[in-house]
């Protein structure tokens, strides 16, 4: 029997790769500690192809968005779950008009909120604060990744396990599983995000530590604010993402500082409220702060040149060890297309893009 391709990590990278391999007729085997450790669990879930401040697509933005939309839709059909929620996309008005109270977005206490999303859209647009900038989506990552986990587990393709250095015999390409069993592999793909490379609660895996990561901290707050019916996702100094059908919004941004733990420091929550209030008008920061239901932080597995790492791990080229990592701030957008490329390369039907190889010189 052919040895399987083993994937370590079932965040968005490991999940998309596993399904791409299955679509090509392989039976991969996935080992994952728990996706709650990962960056995918922390993601706000916004998917769109733009660098809105500069009004240009992100790296591979437009093609990735098309691919992602198709991919997540087909995953929905396969899993019988709803995870992809299309949204209009807005950015701050370039006129730089200073924000004041907006009639449609008045304080919840006054009860003068616009009656429906069209009101809110009309007023916030007429107010000159935001302009329509395209389309995006909210991806419900928790439902998606749990759904894929169940799909793999039912087919004996997943094992919950923490893999440490001592569990891998790189020379003979064998992994030791909990309970004393061993598993040979044809290729070992480390889709471990930053966890396994920086040791955030999980054992260090040396191949992953060979990659020059640059972790970027993101913080998110979730508020229950049903009276604020936003017309879509607003992208500015903070992202304001309505979670369709829940009355909740997520406000998040990136903080470039060293990652400590998964708790959002109170200062971040206050800062997010202050910045969101300046965009929305009608709510002051204290109003927003009082409506917080949850807050969390997480680290984005970014590289120094902001491109993913995909290919043989330097120093382990002869041991069949690959990585699929460094997805950075837009991993939900790029993972499906990259996973398809990696699956083709592992199957020998395509080569890997040179600019993504982990041994590229410039990182």
Ligand X SMILES: Cc1cc2nc3c(=O)[nH]c(=O)nc-3n(C[C@H](O)[C@H](O)[C@H](O)COP(=O)(O)OP(=O)(O)OC[C@H]3O[C@@H](n4cnc5c(N)ncnc54)[C@H](O)[C@@H]3O)c2cc1C
Residues in the site for ligand X, rule: CB under 6 A? 8-14, 31-35, 37-40, 42-47, 162-163, 191-193, 195-196, 202-203, 205, 218, 220, 252, 298-301, 325, 327-333
Report the residue number, 47 or 243, with the smaller CB distance to ligand X: 47
Cα–Cα dist 31/8, whole Å = 5
The answer to whether the beta carbons of residues 157 and 28 sit under 8 Å apart is: yes
Nearest distance, CB of residue 202 and ligand X, angstroms: 4
Query: Whole-number minimum distance, CB 283 to ligand X, in Å?
Result: 22
17, 324 contact by CB (below 8 A): yes
67 or 102: CB nearest ligand X: 67
Q: 93, 72, 331: which is closest to 234 by C-alpha?
A: 93
Q: Which of 220, 82, 70 is nearest to 143 (CA)?
A: 82
CB 47 within 8 A of CB 137: yes
Tokens in use for 342?
Answer: 């990696």
User: CB 139 → ligand X: shortest distance, Å?
Assistant: 7
Cβ distance to ligand X smaller for residue 33 or 113: 33
Residue 228 Cβ vs ligand X, minimum distance, rounded to whole Å:
19
Query: How many helices (H) and strands (E) would you count in the chain?
Result: 10, 19
Q: Which is nearer to ligand X, 75 or 113 (by Cβ)?
A: 75
Of 107 and 329, CB closest to ligand X: 329
In the complex, minimum distance from the CB of residue 303 to ligand X, in angstroms, rounded to a whole number: 11
Whose structure tokens read 């616009």?
A: 114
Q: Considering beta carbons, is residue 106 or 220 the nearer one to ligand X? A: 220
Residue 133 and residue 235 in contact, taking contact as beta carbons nearer than 8 Å: yes
Nearer Cβ to ligand X (28/301): 301
Q: Beta strands of 225-269 (E only): which ranges?
A: 232-235, 239-243, 248-255
CB of 113 to ligand X, least distance (A): 26
| Closest separation in Å from C-beta 130 to ligand X | 18
Coil, strand or helix: which one is 93? coil
Alpha helices in the chain (DSSP H): 12-23, 39-42, 61-79, 117-126, 141-154, 195-198, 206-209, 266-280, 285-290, 331-346
Six-digit token pair at 30?
């996935």
């Amino acid at each position: 029997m052919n040895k399987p391709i083993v994937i370590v990590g079932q965040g968005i990278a490991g999940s998309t790769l596993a399904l791409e391999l299955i679509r090509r007729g392989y039976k991969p085997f996935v080992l994952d500690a728990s996706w709650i450790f990962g960056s995918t669990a922390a993601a706000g879930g916004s998917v769109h192809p733009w660098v809105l401040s500069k009004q240009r697509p992100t790296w591979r933005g437009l093609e990735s968005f098309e691919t992602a939309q198709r991919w997540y839709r087909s995953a929905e059909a396969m899993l019988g779950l709803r995870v992809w929620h299309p949204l209009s996309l807005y950015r701050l008005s370039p006129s730089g008009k200073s924000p004041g109270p907006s009639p449609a977005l008045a304080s919840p206490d006054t009860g003068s909120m616009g009656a429906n999303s069209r009101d809110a859209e009309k007023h916030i647009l007429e107010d000159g604060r935001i302009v329509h900038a395209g389309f995006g989506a909210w991806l419900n990552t928790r439902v998606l990744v749990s759904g894929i986990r169940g799909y793999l587990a039912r087919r004996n393709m997943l094992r919950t396990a923490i893999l440490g250095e001592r569990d891998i015999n790189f020379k003979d390409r064998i992994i030791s599983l909990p309970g004393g069993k061993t598993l040979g592999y044809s290729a070992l793909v480390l889709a471990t995000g930053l966890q396994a490379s920086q040791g955030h609660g999980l054992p260090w895996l040396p191949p992953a530590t060979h990659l020059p990561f640059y972790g970027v901290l993101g913080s998110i707050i979730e508020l229950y604010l049903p009276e604020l019916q936003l017309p879509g996702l607003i992208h500015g100094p903070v992202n304001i993402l309505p979670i369709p059908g829940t009355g909740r919004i997520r406000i998040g941004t990136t903080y470039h500082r060293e990652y400590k733990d998964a708790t959002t420091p109170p200062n971040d929550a206050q800062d997010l409220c202050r910045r969101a209030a300046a965009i929305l008008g009608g709510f002051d920061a204290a109003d927003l702060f009082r409506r917080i239901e949850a807050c969390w932080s997480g680290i984005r597995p970014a590289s120094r040149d902001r491109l993913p790492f995909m290919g043989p791990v330097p120093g382990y080229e002869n041991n069949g060890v690959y990585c699929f990592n460094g997805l950075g701030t837009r991993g939900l957008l790029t993972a499906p297309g990259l996973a398809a490329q990696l699956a083709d390369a592992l199957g020998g039907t395509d080569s890997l893009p040179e600019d993504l190889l982990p041994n590229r010189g410039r990182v």
